[in-house]
Amino acid sequence: MSLKLVKAIRLCEVGPRDGLQNEKIILTAEQKIELIDRMSEAGFPVIEVGSFVSPKAVPQMADTDAVFRGITRREGVEYRALIANARGVDRAAACGCTKVKLNVSASVSHNLANLNCTPAQSVAGFAECVEKARAAGIGISGSISMAFGSPWDKEIPVRDVKRIVDAYLAVGIEEISLSDASGMAFPTQVYDICTEMQHCYPNVSWWLHFHNTRGLGIANILAGMQAGFTRFDASFAGVGGCPFVPGAAGNVATEDVLHMCEEMGVATGIDLDKAMAVSRRIVGLIGHTTDSYLLRAGKSRDLIRELPTGQIKNQTQI
């Protein structure tokens, strides 16, 4: 019995934003531009360049405007950025960014404690962002962090996630990402939630974003694929993590996802060798190892070599 798989997926490289914003070393705009241009060359269809948020809050993203002005844009590639408010739309328009993304936490208690309103009420306040983006010819999407569980609530009822989806649709946002920033998702849960979301909201363009906090990130992507989802986020070398979750590891490594797809015959349109070269470059820039399996072990097919007859020794290992 074979797995029920999609034939192709669309991958967004979020390393320049969600990965680098968690690093102590702040890369220069020129280094970021180099990385993004190399990812464009590798065939990534979507790249999250950075975020238009307060430089005091996230100094690693302070030069996102300069990065957008410096990258070489390839036809057919979507270059997007995260924003927090209408000011972010203004900055996007000024530097030529044509796609922005908003975010809200699915944790009601978390949102109430930080913003004194429910997640759905937060999304309702995004209407100004949507209006500004449309007026400027900028695409806009939304994401829901902690959609599969949170450190504050543990379980997140599906009905709470649906309220946020309804609120996004009410302000005109129809591209929505379900994010497991806390790394609490597991495959059967992902399959069930994704199946239900597909059924209840067939016109939504869905994305999935998983962290590999407990080693289940790539298994969750596979579960999403089996549920029919075809859009996923990943980060070069697995760089990133969630600063609000104790012990949280990074995002799912892009090259690990690409390798899985290549082995299973799922098309991505991305050159795995070029993607791995970018990941090796980023490891050199940040100065520490990461949780990328492929950077440690290499591709499976690289292990297959022809040996002269008689030189294959019997090696039994327990």
What one-character DSSP code corresponds to residue 311? -
Q: Which amino acid is at 23?
A: E
Nearest to 9 by CA among 62, 61, 46: 46
Active-site option among 12, 129, 242, 261: 242
Is 242 among the catalytic positions?
Answer: yes
Measure the CA–CA gap between 182 and 216, rounded to whole angstroms. Answer: 12
CA angle 132, 135, 137 (to 5 degrees): 110
What sign results for the dihedral spanned by CA atoms 211, 249, 280, 15? positive
Measure the CA–CA gap between 181 and 184, rounded to whole angstroms. Answer: 8
Helix (H, G, I), strand (E, B) or coil at 296: helix
Helix (H, G, I), strand (E, B) or coil at 317: coil
Q: Which residues are catalytic?
A: 242
